[in-house]
Amino acid sequence: MAEITNPSSRPRVLSGMRPTGKLHLGNYMGALANWVKLQNDEVAQYECYFFIADWHALTTDYADTSQVAPNTLEVMLDYLAAGLDPERSVLFLQSRILQHAELSLLLGMITPLGWLERVPSYKEQQENLAGKDLTTYGFLGYPLLMASDILLYQPQFVPVGHDQTAHVELTREVARRFNQFYKLGGREVLPEPKVLLTPSPKLPGTDGRKMSKSYGNTIQMTDPEPVVRQKLKTMVTDPARVRRTDKGDPDKCPVGDLHKVFSTPETIAKVYEGCRMAGIGCIECKGWAADGLVKIMQPIQDRRAKFTESQAREILEEGSRRGCIRAAQTMEQVHAAMRMTLTTEAAR
């Protein structure tokens, strides 16, 4: 596999996901599909780094770590299934690159506590996961670990949806603070990454709420066609359409939202017309939605079937080796800027 040569000549992007188990269509449409587009963008020629944030899983699941490694493999297989290509992107595992921990520790020295306490997800997650004790140092510090994940690779862009921009903003603040304290030959070492806002379409789960593993309402990327059809059959619809003869509105129906993402313009037109005039039944409409989903999912599942777990493991190891090269370059600059080395000019 090619080494990272002349890495500064292409705009670098980096993003990652926690290994929470098999990924669902919300993960695919909100992140993976965008990453694949960036990877394959022949004009921008991004240098892409995508990783699995297994240490982040420990911030909430520290009491039972038994699923972190198996989930990591599942996520890696889903990355490959979505079309991430180890020949075009560096696909790596956070915990294989110890510099993530080192940079997090160093940035922790300069980050005011208040910055971490005010990250919106800190309070939200504590409330959402009330059954777990999240009054831990690791949980408070996870946005800083996230900042380190990013800054270690000095990317120009971090592709995220609207809901994650606060984390990138904190990363920018931390980089700014580091650069104020430490410079290398008068130059800044940790460039502030920019948010690359990627489309994250509204994707409801089967109960009409946002598709999320914690709600148990997901359609997984690996769900076989009969499972997809069955899940859609039980999906909630426009509450105004109780009987077949009641008129409905696809804009008030979660199935309508799925159509907007997965169906052809012709099908969507049929849905609007049929639903508003009570000319179609919901079962028929859900069947069309399932057709659209299956069409998108089939090539993904075909690709996944081409990889074994052992290949996924090897790809992750090789990507981590490549990621480590970039991480080591950054840390060399960080050490020199902080004068934490006895061997460079900067130390004198």
Residues that bind ligand SF4 (CB under 6 A): 237-238, 241, 248, 250, 253, 255-256, 271, 275, 280, 282, 285-286
Residue among 119 and 255 whose Cβ is closer to ligand SF4: 255
What whole-number distance in Å separates Cα of residue 217 and Cα of residue 21?
14
Residue number with CB closer to ligand SF4 (15 or 237): 237
Shortest Å distance, C-beta 202 to ligand SF4 = 14
Residue 273, token pair as written in the block: 């017309």
Q: Rounded to whole angstroms, how far apart are CA atoms 196 and 208? A: 28
Specify the residue for token string 């994940």.
Answer: 149
Q: What residues does 92 pair with on adjacent strands?
A: 51
| Residue placing its CB nearer to ligand SF4 in the complex, 278 or 340 | 278
Q: Which lies closer to ligand SF4 via its Cβ, residue 58 or residue 282?
A: 282
Q: Do the beta carbons of residue 3 and residue 322 sit within 8 Å?
A: yes
CB of 300 to ligand SF4, least distance (A): 24
**Whose Cβ is closer to ligand SF4: residue 36's or residue 271's?**
271
CB 293, min distance to ligand SF4, A: 14
Minimum Å gap between C-beta 258 and ligand SF4 is 9
The distance in angstroms from the start CA to the end CA of the chain is 38
Reading across the β-sheet that carries 157-160, which strands appear in turn?
89-93, 47-52, 12-17, 157-160, 194-197
93 token code pair: 């595992």
Rounded CA-CA distance 62/320 in Å is 23
Least spacing, CB of residue 206 vs ligand SF4, in Å: 12
